[in-house]
Amino acid sequence: MFDDILANVREKTPLVHCITNYVTVNDVANSLIACGASPIMADDEKDAVDITSLCDALVINIGTLNERTIAAMLKTGKRANELSHPVVLDPVGAGASAMRTNTTFKLLEEVSFSVIRGNISEIKSIYRGSGTTKGVDADAKDAITGENLDGTISLARELSSRTGAVIAITGAVDIVSDANKTYIIHNGHEMMSKVSGTGCMLTAIIAAYCAANPGNHTAAAAAAVCVMGLSGEMAYEKAIKNDSGPSSYRTYLIDAISKTDADILKGGMKIEIR
Amino acid sequence: MFDDILANVREKTPLVHCITNYVTVNDVANSLIACGASPIMADDEKDAVDITSLCDALVINIGTLNERTIAAMLKTGKRANELSHPVVLDPVGAGASAMRTNTTFKLLEEVSFSVIRGNISEIKSIYRGSGTTKGVDADAKDAITGENLDGTISLARELSSRTGAVIAITGAVDIVSDANKTYIIHNGHEMMSKVSGTGCMLTAIIAAYCAANPGNHTAAAAAAVCVMGLSGEMAYEKAIKNDSGPSSYRTYLIDAISKTDADILKGGMKIEIR
Amino acid sequence: MFDDILANVREKTPLVHCITNYVTVNDVANSLIACGASPIMADDEKDAVDITSLCDALVINIGTLNERTIAAMLKTGKRANELSHPVVLDPVGAGASAMRTNTTFKLLEEVSFSVIRGNISEIKSIYRGSGTTKGVDADAKDAITGENLDGTISLARELSSRTGAVIAITGAVDIVSDANKTYIIHNGHEMMSKVSGTGCMLTAIIAAYCAANPGNHTAAAAAAVCVMGLSGEMAYEKAIKNDSGPSSYRTYLIDAISKTDADILKGGMKIEIR
């Protein structure tokens, strides 16, 4: 289903500009290279506007934000919009602090996003216009289950409709949705939650996939989510074989991203379309 | 001895807010997850005060400090004090620059710390009110030996008495002391000194242990030091088996932190109480 | 040829102050330790000037620069010059934005560098006084080939003559040159380009090598480039044996740096002197 999408990334090597938190930035850089893209980071307003002009996509990840980088996010986001680059938002901790929540809303007002990727608590904070996010992890009570799946899909579709962005909600079950079409993805492994930054990495990979597949952001984002989930499963097999813990697992995860191709994806993806 | 302490961390999954240097921040995040806690980083004054309110503990690590983050450290430290969260100080390079030394003293004046963890040179800088720290590593001439152990214990107890904080001095031999009781810990491996950030990781783990064990910070800090040291020994065994260098060793260290439980600790800890 | 150079680093354990980007800073710290040096990072003007006074060398890497860190780079660079410390420049993305290009030129005006290390596009941007750098990677059309090798050597020599710095241009073929003598190095492996930050790591290692070998910066830089390239080859062998991807490869690379000694270098280096 996603053969061309993966091939396009490897063929075009999109250059992805990331304004992202300093906690997981190295993993973001290396997972972009692993998926076939090329990273560049710049977070000063003056530098970032120039840099984004050379790039094919922009990631705005609000973790470890500050006044200086918020200004860069806004200005660079607008510039990327002018250039019709896909812009992907990762609202890390939206709902957890006034600064993060307000920055998210300001970004949504002033920048047009192609994709918004977050955990269910972050996405619900955006949907509701307020939040009860517990730190940067999703609240257990927000978890997507068989029972609330339909409601979550409706929420994603309505938010997509309101923002114009594809909504990617990731967790034990992943949902990627525009206003009309929803991918439900069952790949991934719980060990991914034992590594800091798997969400940040995925956000950047989504940006790379969108840059290389301009006509089809919903499918591109869904493919990226599948690749990440399947890589998480492959990494788990290697971790078990080597009796490893979460730090080895992180290494194997990025290794696996570099190896996942259309054939592996075809053989392993667990996806449903509604 | 420390069975409940470890179990409490895994059961409560304390959320630990870290204002920490950008050099080792990713290892800090992943070692917190490995030990059973959950990390969140925020270093802007406005964001950090909100974030710390959601958390169970605060780490203030002064490596790569700047005016903006110093303001956040002070304000967030006070807020954490109001909330009775344990606050742990890592005075990286105290004694090595006026800015680091002065920030350390200002923090000690305005914030009440549960634990201060540093190498012997950093702790001596605080004790003396001045320093001869060589960069971020301890001076060889400051090393704890059989000969100066008693003196170092006295120093730790007096500093604990003055600051109200548990003092953790780590090196080849580790000392964890309040004003009356001292744990002397002989776990660890010299290969830990070949990895940047083992001290920063330990500081954060101590914060997690204190958050989950509110009545008993001295024992909680000592348990964290034992877990780290024993993890360092386990990582060394794996590194030798795989003919590995320091970067693999770092990975194995975080892996080992995730595996160390009360049974492993009981079997391996080398601890003396005075 | 380089026996003493390597031995001097391990014997003297130079303390290397890095003002460097937050993307690859952890790998820079750990690769410095691996090569036998000791890292310290400080990027605030007030802190950095004090810190550099304790150190043996300074790295200025302009990736993720901002107004605050640019001020620190300039002031700290001048202080390191006063102290006759080797100062090494990594002009990451020079030519890619006005801010990076202008900062590079301002640094070259106000600070005297011992070595400038960059990819061919960055070095050409400096040479020409303008640039067409594509992000932080070299443009394919700039690649050093058999046909343009002589021209590139001339360029390096002229730039060395103009700046007084040893010029290190790294890529598939590496050139290290002063105004009169050029080392051409054929070590390394293309997998190094699949890891973010191998250039940043090398820049820091060059600084350590220069600090430990004050009379001979050109040979010191060439030795560092050989060690990095050979480590890249050794890491590749391990990666192939373990069926690994780029993240494992990064780990093996830093492991290999820690193991590379004069004997390994003698057996594996592919170097030509003109």
Q: What is the mean pLDDT of residues C150-172?
A: 97
* Helix, strand, coil tally for chain B in percent (to 5): 55, 15, 30
The secondary structure of residue C138, as a DSSP letter, is P
Q: Are A44 and C67 in contact (CB < 8 Å)?
A: yes
Residue A255 distance to chain C (closest CA, Å): 4
Provide the CB-side half-sphere exposure for B220 (13 A, CA).
26
Q: Partners of B58 in the beta sheet?
A: B17, B87
ipTM of the complex: 0.96
Which neighbouring-strand residues pair with A237?
Answer: none
pLDDT, position B142: 80
* Contact call for A26 and B25, based on CB within 8 A: no
pLDDT at A139: 77
φ/ψ of B58, rounded to 5, equals: -130, 135
Q: Are A184 and A150 in contact (CB under 8 A)?
A: no
**Tokens 């050409």, residue?**
C124
Q: What pLDDT, on a 0 to 100 scale, did the predictor assign at position C132?
A: 55
CA distance, residue A122 to nearest chain B CA (Å): 15
Q: Distance (Å, rounded) from C-alpha B19 to C-alpha A272?
A: 42
CB contact under 8 A, B29 and A196: yes
**pLDDT grade, residue B134 (50/70/90)?**
low
By C-alpha distance, which of C209, C217, C194 is closest to C262?
C209
Q: How far apart are CA C31 and CA B198, in angstroms?
A: 15
Residue C199 touches partner A, C-beta closer than 8 Å: no
Mean pLDDT of chain B: 95
Cβ A165 vs Cβ A90: under 8 Å: no
Q: Of C15, C55, C258, which is closest to B245 when you measure between CB atoms?
A: C258
Encode pLDDT of B245-262 as tens digits.
999 999 999 999 999 999
C-alpha count within 13 angstroms, C-beta hemisphere, residue B62:
31
Condensed to tens digits (0 to 9), the pLDDT of residues C168-226 reads 999 999 999 999 999 999 999 999 999 999 999 999 999 999 999 999 999 999 999 99
Q: Are A173 and A200 in contact (CB under 8 A)?
A: no
- Predicted model pTM: 0.97
Over residues B211-255, the pLDDT tens digits come to: 999 999 999 999 999 999 999 999 999 999 999 999 999 999 999
Give C256's contacts in chain B (Cβ within 8 Å).
245
pLDDT in the model for residue A133:
59
How many whole angstroms separate alpha carbon C198 and alpha carbon C60? 15
Tell me: pLDDT of B34 over 80: yes
**Most distant CA pair in chain C, distance:** 49
- Tell me whether residue A158 is exposed, middle or buried, using C-beta atoms within 10 angstroms of its C-beta: 0 to 12, 13 to 18, 19 or more: middle
Alpha-carbon distance of C114 to B23, in angstroms, equals: 25
One of 3.10.105.10, 2.40.37.10, 3.40.1190.20, 1.10.10.10 is the CATH number of C3-273, namely 3.40.1190.20
**Min Cα–Cα distance to chain B from A25, Å:** 9
Residue of C40, C49, C254 to mutate when probing chain B, most B C-beta within 10 A? C40
What mean pLDDT comes out for the span B94-113? 97
Tokens 């000690």, residue located: B108
Chain-chain contact of C26 with B21 (C-beta, under 8 angstroms): no
Contact B71/C at CB under 8 A: no
Structure tokens at B125: 């800088």
Q: Which two tokens stand for residue A164?
A: 């114009």
Q: Is B258 on the interface with A (CB under 8 A)?
A: yes
Report the interhelical angle of A45-54 vs A67-82 (nearest 10°).
Answer: 30
Check CB contact of A197 with chain B, cutoff 8 Å: yes
Identify the pLDDT of residue C256.
Answer: 98
The list of chain A residues with pLDDT below 50 reads none
Minimum CA–CA partner of A134 in chain B: B54
Which residue, B55, B26, B138, is CA-closest to B92?
B138
Inform me whether the pLDDT recorded for C75 exceeds 90: yes
Chain C residue numbers touching A26 (CB-CB < 8 A): 23-24, 26-27, 196-197
Yes or no, beta carbons of A195 and B30 under 8 Å apart: yes
Q: Which tokens go with B142?
A: 């400051």
Adjacent-strand bridge partners of B15: B38
Chain B interface mutation, best of C53, C79, C252, C255, highest count of B Cβ atoms under 10 Å: C255
- C257 touches B at CB < 8 Å: yes
Note whether A136 contacts B: Cβ–Cβ < 8 A. Answer: yes
Q: Do C252 and B247 touch (CB under 8 A)?
A: yes
- Indicate yes or no: CB of A96 within 8 angstroms of CB of B250: no
Residues 3-62 of C with CB under 8 A from A: 21-24, 26-27
Please tell me which chains touch B, using 3 or more CB pairs under 8 Å as the contact test: A, C
Residue C130 has pLDDT above 80, yes or no: no
State residue C12's pLDDT score: 98
Q: For chain C, say whether B250 makes contact (Cβ under 8 Å).
A: yes
* DSSP letters for C187-227: ---GGGGGSTTHHHHHHHHHHHHHHH-TT-HHHHHHHHHHH
Asked if B15 and A135 come within 8 Å (Cβ–Cβ), the reply is: yes
* Contact indicator for A117, A87 with CB cutoff of 8 Å: no
Q: Which residues of B touch C253 (CB under 8 A)?
A: 247
CA dihedral A226, B40, A39, A233 (to 10 degrees): -30
Q: Please name the member of B65, B136, B245 whose beta carbon is closest to the beta carbon of C255.
A: B245
Q: Is B233 on the interface with A (CB under 8 A)?
A: no
DSSP string, A117-142: EE-HHHHHHHHHTS---BTTBPPGGG
What's the rounded mean pLDDT across residues C48-57? 98
> E strand or H helix at C158, and its extent?
helix C149-163
DSSP-assigned beta bridge partners for residue C94: C97
Which chain C residue has its CA at the smallest distance from A33's CA?
A: C194
List chains touching C (3+ CB pairs under 8 A).
Answer: A, B
CB contact under 8 A, C254 and B244: no
Closest-approach residue (CA) in chain C for A231: C245
Give the nearest chain A residue to B248 (CA atoms): A248
Q: Pick C142 or C113 by higher pLDDT.
A: C113
Taking each helix axis from N to C end, the angle separating B98-110 and C45-54, rounded to the nearest 10 degrees, works out to 120
From C26, C97, C196, residue closest to A33, measured CB to CB: C196
Q: Do C252 and B250 touch (CB under 8 A)?
A: no
Mutate to test the interface with A, among C66, C192, C253 (most CBs of A within 10 A): C66
Asked if residue C78 has pLDDT above 90, the reply is yes
* Closest-approach residue (CA) in chain C for B196: C30
Q: What are the structural domain ranges in chain B?
A: 3-273
Percentage, residues of chain B above pLDDT 70: 98
**Strand pairing category for C166-169 and C174-177:** antiparallel
Distance from CA of A198 to the nearest CA of C (A): 14
- B98: chain C residues, CB-CB within 8 Å: 46, 50
CB pairs under 8 A between B and C: 94
| Letter string b/e over residues A175-207, b meaning 16 or more CB atoms within 10 A of that residue's CB | bbbbbeebbbbebbbebbbbbbbbbbbbbbbbb
Q: Which residues 163-192 in chain C show a CB within 8 A of chain A? A: none
Task: Tell whether the model's pLDDT for residue B31 goes beyond 70.
Answer: yes
The whole-number pLDDT of residue A230 equals: 98
- 3-state helix vs strand vs coil in chain C, percent to 5: 55, 15, 30
Tokens of A84: 């019709």
> Measured between beta carbons, which residues in chain B are less than 8 angstroms from residue C42?
64, 93, 97
**Of the candidates C96, C197, C251, which has its C-beta nearest A54's C-beta?**
C96
What length is written for chain A? 274
Residue in B with minimal Cα distance to A244: B255
Does the CB of A122 have a partner CB in chain C at under 8 Å?
Answer: no
Q: What gap in Å lies between CA C14 and CA C213, rounded to an integer?
A: 10
Output the CA–CA distances (angstroms, integers) from residue C89 to B33, C73, C92, C122, in the order listed.
36, 10, 9, 11
Return the pLDDT at B61.
98
Q: A30, C66: Cβ pair inside 8 Å?
A: no
Beta bridge partners of B44: none
B50 CB-side CA count, 13 A: 20
Nearest-CA distance A29 → chain C (Å)? 6
CB contact under 8 A, B98 and C50: yes
pLDDT at C200: 98
C194 and chain A: CB distance < 8 Å anywhere?
yes
Contact criterion met (CB < 8 Å) for B254 and A247: yes
Which residues of chain A lie closer than 8 angstroms to B38, CB-CB? Answer: 135, 137
Instruction: Please give the pLDDT value at position C138.
Output: 77
